[in-house]
Amino acid sequence: MIKILFSTVLTLTICLNVFSQTDDQRSAIATIDRLWEGMRLKNAEMIKSVFTAEGQLVAIDKPRDGKGLSKTRVFTAEAFAKNISEAKAAEFLEKMPSPDARIFGDLAIVTGRYTFYVGDKFSHCGTNTFNLVRTETGWKIANAASTLEFQCEKDLKAVVIPKIEADPKDVSTIDGIIKAFYETISGGIGMERQWSRDKTLYLPDIRFVSMSEQDGKIRASVMSHSNYVNGSNEFFVSQGFNEKEINRVVRKFGNIAHVFSTYEFSTYDGKEKGRGVNSIELYFDGNRWWISAASWDDERKNNPIPKEFLPKEKR
C-alpha cells in the first residue's frame, strides 16, 4: 500500500512538473519577445524591465568575412537600453523564429538563431543565448550572449512556423496522429508543407534521430523540429516528396505506445525512392496523444526490412 501510494504521488509530481515546465517555457520565451518589442519601440524602460538589476549582455562580433577571432563587447542592461533608445536609425527588428527553452527549476535557458533588420534592410544574423532567473515578477534576463554574423544565407531561408492549436482529429487517436505524421510532409512540387500542423503532434522538446550509413560507417543525425524543417523544406517543396505508411506494428500498454511504422517514399520524378521504418514513441495525457520521440532508418542492401514489418503482399 505504501509503495502504491508513493508511486501515485511521484507520478502526480512528475506530471505537474511536465505541464508547469511547458508553461514556464512559454513565459520565458514571452520575456524575450518583450525585449524584441522594447527594441522595436526604442523604449529604454521596457528593455530594462526584462533584465535583472545586474543583468548584462555580451556581443560577440565575428569578422564580416567569417574568418579569424571574434571581438567581444559587454553591456550592462542599462547601457544596452540607452544605446538602443538613442539610436538614430530606423526601428530595430530582431526575429528568433524557433526559440528553444529549457527549464531547470528557477533557471531558464532560451537559445536560437536570429535575424536582425534595421527598418526593412537586413543587417546581420547570429545565435542568441539567454540565461533567465525566476523572480516574484516573472522571468528576468540575468545575462545574455549574442553572436553577430554576416554569412546568413541559411538563416534568411529559415522557415517561420506560425503556432496553431492541434486538430482533435489529429491527436485524439493513434491512427489520427500517425496519419497526420505522414500527411504534413507529403505533397507535390511547389506545395508548402504543413509545418504548423506538424509541430502540434510533438512535445515541445521533440528530438528526431535519422540513421544513415556512409562509407560503411553508421551515422546518427539528431535534430530538433526546427533543424528538421529547415534542413528538409527546400528539398520537399522543390522536388515534390511523398511518404506513405505501408504497414504498422503497435505495442501499447496503458497510456504509452510504441509504433513501428513502415514507409515508402518517392520524389515527384521518381528518381529517389525507397522504403524504411519509423520508430515512434507516444503517450496519452488524458486528453490527447503526443509523439515524444521519433527515429528512422532507410532500407539498404545490408539493412533489409524484417518480414514482420512488411504487409503480407510485400514480404
The answer as to whether 75 is a domain residue is yes
Using a pLDDT cut of 90, give the percent of the chain over it: 80
Q: Cell 528568433 appears where?
A: 96
Question: What is the Cα–Cα distance from 201 to 197, expressed in whole angstroms?
Answer: 7
What's the pLDDT band for 225 if we cut at 50, 70, 90? Answer: very high
Cell numbers of 310, please?
Answer: 512488411
Beta partners for residue 209, in sequence order: 222, 295
Of 97, 122, 156, the one marking the end of a domain is 156
Q: Do 267 and 143 fall into the same domain?
A: no
User: How many structural domains is the chain composed of?
Assistant: 2
How many C-beta atoms surround the C-beta of residue 311 within 10 A?
10
Q: Which amino acid is at 74?
A: V
Confirm whether 161 is domain-assigned.
Answer: no
Q: Which residue among 122, 156, 190 closes a domain?
A: 156
Average pLDDT over residues 75-101: 93
Mean pLDDT score of the chain = 91
Average pLDDT score over residue span 65-87: 94
Where among 156, 188, 211 does a domain terminate? 156
Model confidence pLDDT, tens digit, residues 137-194? 999 999 999 999 999 988 888 888 888 999 999 999 999 999 999 999 999 999 999 9
Q: Where does residue 201 rank: exposed (0-12), middle (13-18), buried (19+ CB within 10 A)?
A: buried
- Tens digits of per-residue pLDDT, 237-268? 999 999 999 999 999 999 999 999 999 999 99
Please tell me whether residues 174 and 72 are part of one structural domain: no
Closest residue by Cα to residue 161 from 222, 118, 204, 103: 204
Beta bridge partners of 258: 251, 281
Q: Which residues pair with 128 in a beta bridge?
A: 112, 146
- 186 and 73 share one domain: no
Is it the case that residue 13 has pLDDT exceeding 60?
Answer: no
CATH of the domain at 45: 3.10.450.50
* Residue 162 maps to a domain: no
Q: What is the pLDDT of residue 160?
A: 85
- Examine the domain organization and report whether 28 and 151 are in the same domain: yes
Within a domain: 163 = no
Distance (Å, rounded) from C-alpha 146 to C-alpha 158?
Answer: 18
Task: Say whether pLDDT at 3 is over 50.
Answer: no
Domain that holds residue 56: 2-156
Task: Provide the angle, in degrees to the nearest 10, between the axes of the packed helices 77-86 and 2-41.
Answer: 40
